[in-house]
Amino acid sequence: MPEKLASKPREDGGIQLQSHCPLPGGPLALEHHRCESCNVRMLSICSALDMSELSEIEHLSRPLCYSPRSVLQREGETSDTVFNITGGMVRLSRTLPDGQRQIIGFAVPGDFLGLDLGENIVFSAEAINQVNACRFQRNAFVDFLAAKPTLMRRMQALTASELTHAQDHMVILGRKNADGKVASFLINLRDRLARIEHVVAHIPLAMTRQDIADYLGLTIETVSRTLSKFAKQKLIVITPDGVRLLNEEKLRILGEL
């Protein structure tokens, strides 16, 4: 399916992204925006670039909008594109030998996807809600990366951070009980979102309870029961679109954070 192009100019001369993406099946192509005015630039790899380099990478990128449940990349397929997430949340998953799905993470604005060492994609990435992303052709991006030492160092730092996060998650899965797992999940997600939206107490949960359960190695019943228990203990308030923290200190103790 060819990509559609839709956008409208703002009074300041920029581009206002339209509020709805197409139905799953193909991303919506957006007109190029100025990288220097990107809301997540300082959180992403682009923070390592100066103004002239931003102009260069701007010409390599293809801003796209994905509707909920759209697939950005599929496990096992040949990797020929990479993505910088600029809006929304992406579910990352792998297929286990028995055919079951294992969620390995949730990408948020500022995260970079697709620059795997092998030729094939090692995990699937699916939009949970409306997702905006800058897509790059892999070969062109790799060439650009090789020519920019500061960008390469930034990528290495992000890779090290992702490795630390993966190790922390293994500890959560292996050592913590249900209360500790759910508490850790809430605090870690809040801390990640706070970089972008300056979230203090409210944590939007775009993913389903089943997604959370799969990620934490729990059942959906256990996740729901634990959240309800936290609410009764006045640690959180459950809202229609997420949770509001009431006692962060106690949650950090439960999560051993």
* Residue 12: band (very low, low, confident or very high) from pLDDT cuts 50, 70, 90: very low
> Tens of pLDDT along 43-60?
777 777 778 777 888 888
Question: Which of 48-57, 158-167, 248-257 has the highest average model confidence (pLDDT)?
Answer: 248-257
Angle at 197 between CA 191 and CA 202, to 5 degrees: 65
Note the pTM of the prediction, 2 decimals.
0.80
Of residues 81, 76, 85, the one with CA closest to residue 115:
81
Quick one: pLDDT at residue 231?
Answer: 97
Quick one: pLDDT at residue 79?
Answer: 80
Which domains are seen in the chain, by residue range?
A: 4-155 (2.60.120.10), 176-254 (1.10.10.10)
19 vs 176, residue with greater confidence: 176
Task: Say how far apart CA 45 and CA 24 lie, in whole Å.
Answer: 28
> Tens of pLDDT along 189-230?
998 888 876 667 899 999 999 999 999 999 999 999 999 999
Q: What is the DSSP secondary structure assignment for residue 18, as one 8-state letter?
A: P
With a cut of 50, say whether residue 5 has pLDDT above it: no
75 vs 172, residue with greater confidence: 75
